[in-house]
């Protein structure tokens, strides 16, 4: 769980904000109160750092960096639909989400063999529908970030 790393970051941020506040209004606190509050923050940060450990924090930061780095089309396809059989998936066009969960879509145009297409349809029990090209474009109007190449 990454909560302890987030808590450590929040404590460091609060300490930094407190130090900025003291620098802006030095007459508000006595030196004794400043030292006491600084010691409480320091003890909390050191104990949390000892509790979480350097390796844990390093692995959390590495995971955040890895999850925010761009993925290849093959990785995204495997995450969404599992590994393709016989490696018969060829990517033609691809546009990933920049910020996952905030961006609407992953846009992917692929060429599949019939066995892979059958596997995909059975995977989620999809239903197929046939639309005219003009009708299918009208269905996608709400998505303003639609790539130019996307014309089903």
Tell me the CA distances in angstroms from 79 to 73, 106, 140, one per residue in order.
Answer: 10, 12, 24
pTM beyond 0.85: the answer is: no
Tell me the CA distances in angstroms from 149 to 72, 107, 111, 138, 145, one per residue in order.
Answer: 18, 10, 14, 15, 12
Give me the average pLDDT of each 10-residue run along the chain (152 residues). 70 79 78 80 76 73 73 84 82 80 78 86 77 67 71 67
Q: What is the pLDDT of residue 19?
A: 78
Q: Which of 111, 112, 105 is nearest to 140 (CA)?
A: 105
Give the three-class secondary structure for 2.
Answer: coil
């Amino acid at each position: 769980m990454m909560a302890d790393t987030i808590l450590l970051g929040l404590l460091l941020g609060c300490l930094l904000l407190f130090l900025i506040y003291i620098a802006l209004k030095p007459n508000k606190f006595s030196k004794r109160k400043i030292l006491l509050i600084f010691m409480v923050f320091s003890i909390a940060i050191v104990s949390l750092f000892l509790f979480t450990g350097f390796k844990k924090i390093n692995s959390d930061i590495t995971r955040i960096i890895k999850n925010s780095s761009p993925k290849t089309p093959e990785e995204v396809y495997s995450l969404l639909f599992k590994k393709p059989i016989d490696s018969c998936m060829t990517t033609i066009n691809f546009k990933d989400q920049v910020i996952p969960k905030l961006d609407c879509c992953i846009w992917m145009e692929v060429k599949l063999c019939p066995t892979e297409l059958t596997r995909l349809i059975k995977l989620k029990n999809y239903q197929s529908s046939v639309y005219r090209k003009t009708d299918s474009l009208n269905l996608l109007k709400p998505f303003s970030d639609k790539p130019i190449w996307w014309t089903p």
